[in-house]
Amino acid sequence: MITLENIHKSYGPVQVLRGVTLEVARGETVSIIGASGSGKSTLLKCANLLEQPDRGRIILDGTALTDPGVNVDRARARIGMVFQHFNLFPHMSVLGNVTVGLRSVRGLPRQQAEEIAQARLAEVGLAHLAGQRPARLSGGQQQRVAIARALAMEPAVMMFDEATSALDPELVKDVLAIMRDLAGSGMTMLVVTHEMAFAREASQRVVFMDRGVIAESGTPAQIFEAPEHERLRRFLAQIL
Ligand code: ADP
Ligand code: MG
């Protein structure tokens, strides 16, 4: 469904990504783990062209987003992004946050956009809060709104960047439960996470990033039970 091919990215003299190649099949969930600063967020940003890679190609469902002449906005709308900080619009209602992309990017009329938004909010258990401002919601609820907003666009791929890292511990499990359901439902997902239980149980493949490259990848059993790379072993020893 999405292929990242030999992605390089530098900021000034700092080489943040040094040739990352990663393929996520339709319906597959891949978790990315690795120490802070290893380039995980930069990789996701390159994948949806929030950052322009210096080298390499992004191929989404057969279309190379990095080719000249590709409508980047339209292509990017097919990748749902969920960030650590929910990035909701504070001046809009929950419903407004979920409909805004449907109306502005997809050009849907208000009523149709609101029907879709209500259905997506119901899926994350928040239909009853549609009229509220985000500030009235808990962090976990806000993150579920952000997930509903991304799903409303019918993305080909969902990407999560430490979606539970900013949440109070008791709110983490609701968001993880939604992510697990989504993975189980056949969504294609690329998930940067420090939640090793999620990586182990909800993903088919785990990728360990280290200093701008994929140092090791494999099934959860391979990565967690038989890690080969010394730095992966050390990372797991620290985090588990
Ligand atoms: P991770 O998500 O794995 O913690 P990041 O992709 O956020 O790692 O960052 C990797 C490295 O790139 C870090 O050293 C960070 O300081 C650097 N970096 C990220 N974004 C920028 C930027 N916009 N400008 C300069 N350096 C950046
Ligand atoms: Mg990051």
Residue 77's pLDDT is what?
Answer: 86
Query: pLDDT for 94-129, tens place per residue?
Result: 999 999 999 999 999 999 999 999 999 999 999 999
Q: pTM for the complete prediction?
A: 0.95
CA distance from start to end of the chain: 31
Instruction: Assess whether pLDDT exceeds 90 at residue 201.
Output: yes
The whole-angstrom separation of Cα 127 and Cα 73 is 29
Probe residue for ligand 1, chosen from 7, 10, 41, 209 as the CB with the greatest number of ligand atoms within 8 Å: 41
Probe residue for ligand 1, chosen from 8, 14, 18 as the CB with the greatest number of ligand atoms within 8 Å: 14
Mean pLDDT (the chain) is 95
Query: pLDDT for 218-235, tens place per residue?
Result: 999 999 999 999 999 999
pLDDT mean over 51-67: 93
Q: Does residue 38's CB lie within 6 angstroms of at least one atom of ligand 1?
A: yes
DSSP labels, 164-191? TTTS-HHHHHHHHHHHHHHHHTT--EEE
Residue 35's pLDDT is what?
Answer: 97
Residue 29's pLDDT is what?
Answer: 98
Positive or negative CA dihedral for 225, 227, 233, 238? negative
Residue 8's pLDDT is what?
Answer: 98
Residue 102: φ, ψ to 5°: -60, -40
Residue 38's pLDDT is what?
Answer: 98
pLDDT mean over 161-174: 93
The whole-angstrom separation of Cα 152 and Cα 89 is 16
pLDDT mean over 125-140: 96
The CA–CA distances, whole Å, from 122 to 116, 118, 145, 151, 181 equal 10, 6, 10, 12, 14
Instruction: Assess whether pLDDT exceeds 90 at residue 30.
Output: yes
